[in-house]
Amino acid sequence: MDGARGRAREYVVEADGGSRGNPGPAGYGAVVLDAATGETLVEAAEYLGVVTNNVAEYRGLLAGLRAARELDPDAGVHVRMDSKLVVEQMSGRWKIKHPDMKPLATEAARVFPPGRVTYEWIPRAQNKHADRLANEAMDAGARGEQWSPSDSTADLDTATDAVPTASDADVRAAQTVASPGWGPPDMGAPATFVLLRHGETPLTPQKRFSGSGGSDPSLSPVGREQAEKVAASLARRGTVEAIVASPLARTRETAGIVAARLGLEVAVDEGLRETDFGAWEGLTFGEVRERYPDDLDAWLASPEAEPTGGGESFAATGARIAATRDRLVAAHAGRTVLLVSHVTPIKTFLRLALGAPPESLFRMELSAASLSAVAYYADGGASVRLFNETSHLR
């Protein structure tokens, strides 16, 4: 008990875990806070070797709960995590089927008596302290070391880079969005990405999952006709200076048809490939719902969740696209470049440019052979210029 007689202490546990590769080199971070004052009481982090994101997240939860119990076994604990999967499973709303996570969840449930721990999902931006600790642990592991509390700067960094107030966030968002249209005229010409989704394949009209882990279909006759039409439209505009395509057959074929019309070469970039949909490749949404209902629910609820069979999460796709974007913007400053890619990567380019949450991916319609465009300025601002334009196909 604390100084107030008869009243147990209350702690907040924030935890996170990450895997660079999923599975890959992984680590967790956890922090215990005084619920009344917000004071940091304990930091914990550990390099785990090669495990998955979800296992690392559960290990972070366990570490945080154990640290809270060491402080006061009679305390009440409120857990805050940005893993929707862990929060929903530990709250009892989702089933736990994965053999690596079942024993970890069981162990976590036994740290405190039932009813003494509550769970809350929070956005990643509000879990920076634990996230920084997890990354410190992974960085230490990459050096062949274990994380040491004496080397941690996570608490300091979080204090100086705290979650902004609503007004601060609004100002920053306004500055970023407004700068392309209202900023100073000396930023120079932007790097403009014209984003072309490939033409139809035999799987497209059937609305089947078709990612980078499936059969890699080529264009159908309809898809080739669509590529010819978009090539003619781009030739009339005359602004494209370079073409970069995903390595998959349907995008390379679409890019090749356009390139032949524009007299350009096609460069291939692995970063533009479609998400790997694991065991869902080739299935319709309804078939996935019938065969893998729990996995599908988790995937729809959390960008960290992977498709069945070890596919790629939307969070992993987002990190890959952000890195690809930065690399291509640096390589093509001031130029207009046609990027021939797929549904998820193109939606992710647009989501990142708008600063929209991951769930916005489910709220965009992107047609085969459609055009979208984003301009990237020297000050880091981005401006969406076009979305899902298909008039050239009529």
Question: Sign of torsion, CA 348 356 134 101?
Answer: negative
Q: Where are the beta strands (DSSP E) in the chain?
A: 10-19, 24-34, 40-51, 76-81, 117-121, 191-197, 242-245, 266-268, 336-341, 371-376, 382-389
In this structure, are residues 257 and 227 in contact, taking their beta carbons and an 8 Å threshold? yes
Render 33-68 in DSSP notation, one character per residue: EETTT--EEEEEEEEEEEE-HHHHHHHHHHHHHHHH
In this structure, are residues 45 and 147 in contact, taking their beta carbons and an 8 Å threshold? yes
Contacts within 8 Å (CB) and 24+ apart, 204-207? 204/368, 206/284, 207/284, 207/285
In this structure, are residues 146 and 47 in contact, taking their beta carbons and an 8 Å threshold? yes
274 a catalytic residue: yes
In this structure, are residues 149 and 119 in contact, taking their beta carbons and an 8 Å threshold? no
Burial (CB count within 10 angstroms: exposed 0-12, middle 13-18, buried 19+), residue 65: buried
The one catalytic residue among 274, 281, 306, 312: 274
* Among the listed residues 240, 222, 220, the one whose alpha carbon sits nearest the alpha carbon of residue 231: 240
198 a catalytic residue: yes
The one catalytic residue among 46, 88, 136, 198: 198
Residues in the chain: 394
The strand pair at 40-51 and 24-34 is best described as antiparallel
Query: Which residues carry out catalysis?
Result: 198, 274
